[in-house]
């Protein structure tokens, strides 16, 4: 029982009054409650909103059989009693279902009650839509999502009140709907309310959900607690009397009360400890609430309690010096009573208690500078802001509270976006994230095999910037691997880390393979060269180190035969002792062509051993067997193979004339060549899937990558594929041109 005659926080449900019987009587209760509890209350505007609500829902009836207007009315009353902000909150609570459930529009609300009320109603409607259309898998994700969708904290508070009243009247629903709502409340709303510090609302939501989900355990605990109520009250009186006397001696003003823990809390403790209700020692907590502004008085009270009763040291918690993340502050201790029972004692100031019961309405730092807006920085700001706001609401006048509410606009986690998988699973990514980031967030293998993406059903390139609310589908290919460009596209640490790891693993494997090829080649020709001499020669050949040299061999951009010839040509006679003498050559001393060269290309002319020449294929035009080709002699990179029609060759032909060599394709082809295809067409659902399916159906073609951009109703993309020759490429072109909506298909240069 309370001592010292101070106030006690309770939730009033008006159990003796039945709403819906008399509209004017209902309105009178609303106006009286608002005027008594809120510092600023426009009765005329609230009455107009109430009558608007009654008229809008005139034909609607709740599942319980009551007139529908009784629901928004009681939501408004919960807002007044439990989260008292202002009359705008009350008006928005009265109207929160109007747009969703009646013929009235948001424009009607705006014209009748102004933009502020309309914005809150709009936010409440959006949250309802999220529930209907999205599968929310985690309470923390849901919290962030809600706050990212609304501009005013009062939207969230109205949603709490809405859910609380729905849970209080849940008996009118079918058992299936009751169970679904109770699970949703337990998993989402209760933790969410806890995060806001709304202690009373959180506990009631948990108990109401517990009553539905496990009625047998709920009723058993409730019955046993009722049977021991008188005994418990007598114990609290005996326990509190010496504490109260000592506190009074020290001149402290206080309230001491005790109440049983909430039913669900007791049940969780029974399950966790494997005990029956009778075996639990801390079924209730004794609270000492001090009417003081000095936090040190709490420690004084703790010292007094510890002098009277023996404390249990390991059960002491100092949440005043180190508040919980939701801003909760209190001292907790467990002591042994005179009859040997363990009793939990909570010691806090009045402001701490009010905050623990009612909580704060948001999680952001208010910028006090003139004209500044509220912004979210990080979670470390909660405690500071929470205490400041609680003080404003409890102690400041109308002007300060009004100024604060005008700045209640949210910009939560402004560096985050909220996107969804095709199945509605929520993913939280940094702002400016791309489909590459999304793919790696799903799974590293999905990221590694990503060849394209569809956002909201439309094809987008891999560097497309995602936005909050986007639905993203990742398309994959088992033949895809990341490339260096992905590192620049990705912005998340997870994606970049996986891309680098995969690229480094590929590089290491190619280096190992290249080293093995080099060792076999030197063994075959009997070439002996020490490591220092090899290093010097490679530097002269423009390789930074041996790893780059081995990488060239392992990636097939340099053949072992060409490598050994280059090394022998550069080496001094003293540095090597080959058993087989291989004739030296330079690019202007050509010999007979090897037409079955495994490189796929050979030099046309006399005395040119192509197997001893290093070839590489130009990426600007991606030549493949069947193309008319020409070679450009380069320094350190051998001969670069271009298509004769390549723009780079045509434009620079006069300057390159002395370095051009005639080339032809070998008749024996054992490798695939990279080619790029430019494709344009109508941006429709399923287009990307049709493109990839058509390409892979041609001789099991491997796709290297797809980069597609959509604008208006059209798309344009570059498709890179591995082909054996131009005939293979022509078949791909033919397949692509048959796809519905495809406009153009052509070779890509660039």
β pairing state of 342-349 and 317-318: unpaired
Q: In whole angstroms, give the CA distance from residue 479 to residue 628.
A: 29
Residues designated catalytic: 100-101
Q: In whole angstroms, give the CA distance from residue 697 to residue 728.
A: 12
Q: How far from the centroid of its chain's Cα atoms is residue 494's Cα?
A: 13
Question: Tokens 């080496």 — which residue?
Answer: 571
Q: In whole angstroms, give the CA distance from residue 411 to residue 147.
A: 8
Q: In whole angstroms, give the CA distance from residue 465 to residue 375.
A: 24
Q: In whole angstroms, give the CA distance from residue 54 to residue 51.
A: 5
Cβ-contact 688, 454 below 8 angstroms: yes
Q: In whole angstroms, give the CA distance from residue 34 to residue 30.
A: 6
- How does DSSP classify residue 170? G
Cβ-contact 496, 487 below 8 angstroms: yes
Q: Residue 465 burial (CB < 10 Å; 0-12/13-18/19+)? A: middle
β pairing state of 450-455 and 310-311: unpaired
Q: Produce one character per residue of 717-743: b if its CB has 16 or more CB atoms within 10 Å, e if not.
A: bbbbbbbbbbebbebbbebbeebeebe
With a CB cutoff of 8 Å and minimum separation 6, the contacts of 539 are: none
With a CB cutoff of 8 Å and minimum separation 6, the contacts of 139 are: 187, 188, 191, 192
Q: In whole angstroms, give the CA distance from residue 562 to residue 586.
A: 11
- How does DSSP classify residue 187? I
Minimal CA–CA distance to 277: which of 339, 203, 220?
220
- How does DSSP classify residue 261? P
β pairing state of 639-643 and 615-617: parallel
Q: How far from the centroid of its chain's Cα atoms is residue 366's Cα?
A: 25
Residue 544: both structure tokens together: 């930074």
Instruction: State the sign of the Cα–Cα–Cα–Cα dihedral 60, 66, 67, 70.
Output: negative
419 strand-pairing partners: 427
Cβ-contact 704, 720 below 8 angstroms: yes
Residue 149: both structure tokens together: 């969708």
User: H or E stretch including 135?
Assistant: none
């Amino acid at each position: 029982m309370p001592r010292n005659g101070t106030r006690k926080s309770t939730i009033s449900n008006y159990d003796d009054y039945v709403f819906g019987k008399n509209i004017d009587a209902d309105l009178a209760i609303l106006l009286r409650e608002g005027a008594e509890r809120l510092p600023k209350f426009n009765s005329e505007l609230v009455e107009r909103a109430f009558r608007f609500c009654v008229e809008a829902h005139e034909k609607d009836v709740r599942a319980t059989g009551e007139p529908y207007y009784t629901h928004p009315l009681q939501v408004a009353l919960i807002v007044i009693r439990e989260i008292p902000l202002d009359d705008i909150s009350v008006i928005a609570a009265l109207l929160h279902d109007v747009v969703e459930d009646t013929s009235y529009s948001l424009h009607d609300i705006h014209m009748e009650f102004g933009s502020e009320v309309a914005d809150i109603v709009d936010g409440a409607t959006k949250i309802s839509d999220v529930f209907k259309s999205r599968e929310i898998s985690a309470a923390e994700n849901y919290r962030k999502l809600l706050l990212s969708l609304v501009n005013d904290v009062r939207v969230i508070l109205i949603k709490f009140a809405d859910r609380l009243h729905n849970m209080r009247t849940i008996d009118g629903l079918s058992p299936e709907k009751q169970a679904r709502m109770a699970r949703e409340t337990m998993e989402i709303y209760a933790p969410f309310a806890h995060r806001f510090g709304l202690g009373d609302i959180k506990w009631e939501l948990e108990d109401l959900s517990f009553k539905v989900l496990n009625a047998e355990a709920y009723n058993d605990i409730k019955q046993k607690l009722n049977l021991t109520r008188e005994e418990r009250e007598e114990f609290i009186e005996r326990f509190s009397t010496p504490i109260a006397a000592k506190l009074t001696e020290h001149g402290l003003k206080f309230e001491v009360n005790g109440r049983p823990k909430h039913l669900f809390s007791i049940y969780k403790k029974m399950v966790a400890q494997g005990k029956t209700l009778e075996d639990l020692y801390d079924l209730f907590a004794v609270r000492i609430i001090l009417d003081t502004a000095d936090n040190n008085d709490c420690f004084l009270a703790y010292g007094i309690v510890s002098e009277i009763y023996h404390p249990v040291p390991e059960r002491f918690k100092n949440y005043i010096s180190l508040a919980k993340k939701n801003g909760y502050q209190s001292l907790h201790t467990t002591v042994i009573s005179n009859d040997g029972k363990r009793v939990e004692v909570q010691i806090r100031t009045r402001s701490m208690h009010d905050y623990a019961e009612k909580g704060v309405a948001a999680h952001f730092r208010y910028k006090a500078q003139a004209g500044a807006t509220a912004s979210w920085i990080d979670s470390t700001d909660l405690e500071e802001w929470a205490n400041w706001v609680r003080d404003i609401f409890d102690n400041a006048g109308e002007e300060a509270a009004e100024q604060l509410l005008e700045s209640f606009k949210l910009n939560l986690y402004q560096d985050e976006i909220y996107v969804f998988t095709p199945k509605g699973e929520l993913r939280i990514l940094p702002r400016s994230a791309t489909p590459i980031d999304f793919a790696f967030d799903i799974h590293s293998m999905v990221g590694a095999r990503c060849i394209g993406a569809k956002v909201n059903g439309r094809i987008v390139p891999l560097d497309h910037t995602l936005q909050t609310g986007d639905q993203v589908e990742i398309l994959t290919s088992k033949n895809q691997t990341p490339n260096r460009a992905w590192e620049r596209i990705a912005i998340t640490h997870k994606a970049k880390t996986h891309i680098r790891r995969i690229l480094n693993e590929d590089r290491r494997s190619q280096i190992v393979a290249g080293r093995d090829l080099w060792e076999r080649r030197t063994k075959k020709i009997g070439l002996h060269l020490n490591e220092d001499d090899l290093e010097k020669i490679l530097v002269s050949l423009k390789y930074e180190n041996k790893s780059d040299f081995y990488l060239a061999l392992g990636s097939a951009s340099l053949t072992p035969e060409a490598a050994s010839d280059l090394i022998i040509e550069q080496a001094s006679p003293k540095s090597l002792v080959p058993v087989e003498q291989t004739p030296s050559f330079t690019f202007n001393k050509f010999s007979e062509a090897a037409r079955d060269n495994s490189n796929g290309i050979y030099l046309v002319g006399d005395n040119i051993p192509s197997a001893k020449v290093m070839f590489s294929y130009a990426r600007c035009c991606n030549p493949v067997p069947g193309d008319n080709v020409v070679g450009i002699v380069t320094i350190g990179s051998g001969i670069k193979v271009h298509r004769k029609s390549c723009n780079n060759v045509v434009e620079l032909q006069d300057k390159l004339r002395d370095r051009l060599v005639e080339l032809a394709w070998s008749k024996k082809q054992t490798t695939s060549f990279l080619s790029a295809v430019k494709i344009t067409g109508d941006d429709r659902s399923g287009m990307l899937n049709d493109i990839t399916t058509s390409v892979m159906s041609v001789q099991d073609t491997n796709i290297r990558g797809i980069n597609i951009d959509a604008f208006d109703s059209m798309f344009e993309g570059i498709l890179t594929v591995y082909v054996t020759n131009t005939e293979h490429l022509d078949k791909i072109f033919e397949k692509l041109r048959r796809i519905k909506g495809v406009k153009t298909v052509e070779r890509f240069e660039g």
